[in-house]
Amino acid sequence: MLIIDCPYCGPRDQSEFSNGGEAHVKRPDGSAEIGDREWGEYVFIRANPKGIFYERWVHSHGCRKWFNCVRDTSTDEILKIYKIDEERPKLDSFKNNVKTPSGEPNLGSGNFTVKK
């Protein structure tokens, strides 16, 4: 269970929020000139990286506001939260030490974790 720092309400439990998938996906303009491929990618294709991920959250059981978040999906660490109209933070502003695949031992998974 994450603690998410809503930019409007402050830190709250994850159960108050809903995840909205990848952030900064530009909705193509509605005119018909867009090709099937471009539109199809907007509708159906989303990134799912291991590591740093820009994603959207909504404080659905709170202020109902949408905002963006940068989370490391391999450690679940929230690196930054910013409002929807704020600039997307640059990838190299985050230290991403996680190697993909992330250093699991060859044998056994019990002792496996991601080294920060």
Partner 1 sequence: MSDLNLTDNKFIQFHQKIGFKFDGVKYYGYKGDTIASALLRNNIKLIGRSFKYHRPRGFYTCGIEEPNALVQIISEYSEPNTRATIKKIYEGMEIESQNRWPSLETDIGSINNMFSPVFPAGFYYKTFMGPHKNFWKKIYEPIIRKAAGLGKPPKEFKAVSTHLYHNVDITIVGGGLNGLIAAKSLIDTKFSVLLIDFDDRLGGILNNSSKVQSVNNQTPMDWISETVKEIENSKNIKILRNTLVTTYNYINHLIAIEDKFVGSRPLKDKVNSTLHKIRTDQVILSNGHIERFLSFQNNDLPGIMLCSSFEKYMCRYGVIPSKETVVFSNNSNSESLVFSLIKKGFKPKAYIDSRSGENIEPDLFDLIRKNDIPLYTNSQIKGAYGNKKLQKILVEDSSGGVNEIKTDFLCLSGGINPDVHLFTQSKGLLDWDEKDLTYKPAQAFQPTITLGSASGQFDFNAINKEINEKLVVFGIKPVQIKLELNTSHKFKIEKLWEVLPQKQTIWSKSFIDLQNDVTTKDIRQAISEGFDRIEHLKRYTTNSMGTDQGKISSINALGIVSDLLDKKVNEVGTTIYRPPYAPLSFAAIAGRNSYEYYDPERKSPIHNWHISNGAVFEDVGQWKRPWYFPINKDETMNDAVQRESKNVRENAGVLDGSTLGKIEIKGKDALAFMNLIYTNSFSKMKPGTSRYALMLGEDGMVKDDGIICKISDEHFIATTTTGGAATVLGCMEEYAQTEWPNLNVYMNSITEQYATFNISGPKTRNIIEKVFPEVNFSNEAFPFMTFQFHEYEDTPIRILRASFTGEMGYEIYVPSNQALKIWEKIISFGKEFGLKPYGTETMHLLRAEKGYIIVGQDTDGSITPLDLGLDWMIGKSKKDFLGKRSLIRSDTVRKDRKQLVGILPTNKNEKLEEGQHIILDKEIKTPTPMLGHITSCYQSPTLGHNFALAVIKNGQSLIGTKAFASTPELKTIEVEIVEPIFYDKENTKLAS
| Contact flag: residue 42 with partner 1 (CB under 8 A) | yes
Distance between CA atoms of residues 59 and 20, nearest Å: 10
Helices vs strands, H then E, count in the chain: 1, 6
The DSSP line for 83-109 is ETTSPPPPGGGS-----SS----SS-S
CB 19, CB 69: distance < 8 Å: no
Our CB check for partner 1 shows the closer of 48 and 107 to be 107
Distance between CA atoms of residues 16 and 7, nearest Å: 14
| Contact flag: residue 20 with partner 1 (CB under 8 A) | yes
| Contact flag: residue 3 with partner 1 (CB under 8 A) | yes
Our CB check for partner 1 shows the closer of 100 and 104 to be 104
Stretch that binds partner 1, among 47-55, 91-99, 106-114 (CB under 8 A): 106-114
| Contact flag: residue 86 with partner 1 (CB under 8 A) | no
Distance between CA atoms of residues 55 and 20, nearest Å: 7
| Contact flag: residue 107 with partner 1 (CB under 8 A) | yes
Which residues would be at the binding site for partner 1 (CB under 8 A)? 1-3, 13, 20, 27-32, 34, 36, 39-40, 42-44, 56, 58, 60, 64-66, 76, 84-85, 105-116
